[in-house]
Chain A
Amino acid sequence: MKRTIENIENQFETFQILNENGEIVNQDAMPDLSDEELKELMFRMVYTRILDQRSIALNRQGRLGFYAPTAGQEASQLGTHYALEKEDFVVPAYRDVPQLIWHGLPLYQAFLFSRGHFHGNQFPEGVNALSPQIIIGAQYTQAAGIALGMKKRGKKNVAITYTGDGGTSQGDFYEGMNFAGAYGAPAIFVVQNNRFAISVPVEKQTAAKTLAQKAVAAGIDGIQVDGMDVLAVYAATKQARERAVNGEGPTLIETLTYRYGPHTMAGDDPTRYRSEDLDNEWEKKDPLVRFRKFLEGKGLWSEEEENKVIEQAKEEIKEAIKKADEQPKQKVTDLMENMYETLPAHLQEQYDEYKAKESK
């Protein structure tokens, strides 16, 4: 008789549709996407790769602040997001800025978030999302609450939230899933397993062989997906969304992915903890390479089209940085105004002091 843990692990085989050569290996699971939608997915992935390259460069020039690189995770981030509706609510972690942008956050505001300006977090009406969460795990319990709220309102929508492999060790990771499970709330919990939490490999986070199997503890569905395969990621999320809006509760999706860059731009050096061999192994799995091959095979993508995307991205990034530069500087009185609906007396007193200083 097999050990219990083996029986569990066997239920979490990696779900894949597109292999590294851009070939469909699981035709039955192929999502129903039109040619235009397939091209839009590629557009977003290429755009986001350029955004990452430019963000790193702008950060090095001191024109951006906090930045967590995303290259390598395009399929995981954009494939999950592409399965959503506008009314769905995105609760991102600090690396999940791309999902916010494709959910409707203007690029210049994403740059203001990076720099540390409150206007970056003033999401336009109708962009159903929170700004990137810095406290790893907190987004999971919040997403459970948002999903419960949607269920109570009778909305046919979901809350989707993201964390990394390291984040699965947090208490809030478990509590969030467990609450959503207990209430049958329409939540999608995504774990982007890029194998490292800063320098700590996933093997040091847990003895569990998959992170998807952590869903078992909450009594909810879990699935492990090839996170470099945008079609598999999209299909898994689409299915989780359908189940959620049909009242069948939350799903945990683990995407096996990789970040080609450092953890953040604040001095992390991945060569200290990652081997060149490992980097090379994952470079071969690049989500853009295999999806490009797939689309080219269908006659849906060309170098010319890709170059157009690149130019458009660079142009829009330039415009956005310019717009971010033009944003008025923050004053202490601005910060005070956003504390409470009505300023309490002690803060009013400080407000008056700073107002006087600012008008000098």
Chain B
Amino acid sequence: MAQMTMIQAITDALRTELKNDENVLVFGEDVGQNGGVFRATEGLQQEFGEDRVFDTPLAESGIAGISLGLALQGYRPVPEIQFFGFVYEAMDAINGQIARIRYRSGGTESAPITIRSPFGGGVHTPELHADSLEGLVAQQPGLKVVIPSTPYDAKGLLISSIRDNDPVVFLEHMKLYRSFRDEVPEEEYTIELGKADVKREGSDVTIVAYGAMVHSALKAAEELEKDGVQAEVIDLRTVMPIDLDTILESVKKTNRVVVVQEAQRQAGMASHIVAEIQERAILHLEAPVLRVAAPDTVYAFTQAEEVWLPNYNDIIERVNQVINF
């Protein structure tokens, strides 16, 4: 075991897969010699060569487009989109092409592509760096969308994503890159995609969260415990497909749910989760399922992040609403 930050765990997963499978290719803007703008690919070009880890021209659509071409030649591409706010440039290549290739070819072609991209607020980035756009890709049939919240999860989920024979969008929250260390096994391991993780057990209310909001939910749960409220915190880890079994099992125990996301209320995954819960477990609910989300404005100007981003106080407030309903 080693103590790793999430960014180190990601590099470790990439190194593991570059070593394991000669078809794995890592590429994007500044991921080669430079080792990535966040050092996620640090040392990989030096270790595996320019043929495996390489820089691209500055064009997201081209990056995603060549990924599909490389996949059609039997490679397992792991492209990087420098910040997920730039995904609009690559939207056709990802949602219009990569996600659909298995279906449109009647199963004769596939796209074992893992698109890595940082996102997320709280680190004072300039415009269109921090936006939470997971909802856009999660609405596209053919994709899987993974969002880890811990170094341990990041490594196991990234290895699974790379090995998956269908396209995965792997979103890395910038605030979580170096905010804490975790015990991460040095050997390879996988975490099944589409499986949530109960990060904290509780009996009074279920908090479903993903990304940085998992840590806000855990902090809220600690505070709530002081008032005698036992919150169960579920980290989705994969936001498409959703692990409904884990959510429903928890709902049947606690009978109260709050779904938490950093994205705006009209975006993200929360509405989908609420809909599934009300269709499948309404008779187990003591209160409506409430959401914690950002306001429905464009992502905040840097200095307004603190008042705009959802935080643990917002979660406590919503939990109290469902408890006192």
Contacts and interface: CB of A to CB of B under 8 A. Distances in A.
Contact of A141 (B69, B72, B75, B242): B69
Contacts of B164: 341
A179 B102 contact: no
Nearest to B166: A340
Nearest to A177: B62
A340 B102 contact: yes
Contacts of A131: 104-105
Contacts of A141: 61-62, 64-66, 68-69, 93
Given A149-B74, A152-B73, A339-B142, A122 B62 contact: no
B110 interface: yes
- The A contact surface, by secondary structure, is helix
Contacts of B96: 135, 138
Interface in A123-164: 123, 130-131, 135, 138, 140-150, 152-153, 159
Interface string A158-193: 010000000000011001101100100000000000
A118 interface: yes
A175 B59 contact: yes
A146 B62 contact: no
A314 interface: no
Contacts of A143: 69
B73 to A, nearest CB: 3
Contacts of B102: 338-341
Most central of B64, B165, B241 by chain A CB within 10 Å:
B241
B35 to A, nearest CB: 20
Given A335-B103, A340-B166, A176 B73 contact: no
A88 to B, nearest CB: 12
B179 interface: no
B92 A135 contact: yes
A148 B70 contact: yes
A144 B65 contact: yes
A146 B65 contact: no
A150 B62 contact: no
Interface string A297-331: 00000000000000000000000000000000000
A146 B69 contact: yes
Interface residues of A, number: 41
Interface string B162-194: 001110000000000000000000000000001
B310 to A, nearest CB: 26
B284 to A, nearest CB: 19
Contacts of A138: 65, 92-93, 96-97
Interface string B122-158: 0000000000000000000110100000000000000
A119 interface: yes
A117 B8 CA distance: 46
Contact of A152 (B75, B93, B108): B75
Given A123-B108, A138-B65, A149 B70 contact: yes
B245 interface: yes
B107 interface: yes
B244 A346 contact: yes
Contacts of A159: 69
A339 B73 contact: no
Interface string A333-360: 0010111110011110000000000000
> Which 7 A-B residue pairs are closest in the complex by CB-CB distance?
A145-B69, A141-B65, A149-B73, A145-B66, A175-B62, A122-B106, A344-B241
Given A146-B72, A175-B61, 9 more contacts: A119-B106, A123-B105, A140-B65, A143-B69, A144-B65, A145-B70, A153-B73, A153-B74, A345-B245
11 contacts: A138-B65, A142-B97, A144-B69, A148-B66, A148-B70, A175-B57, A178-B57, A338-B103, A338-B106, A345-B241, A347-B241
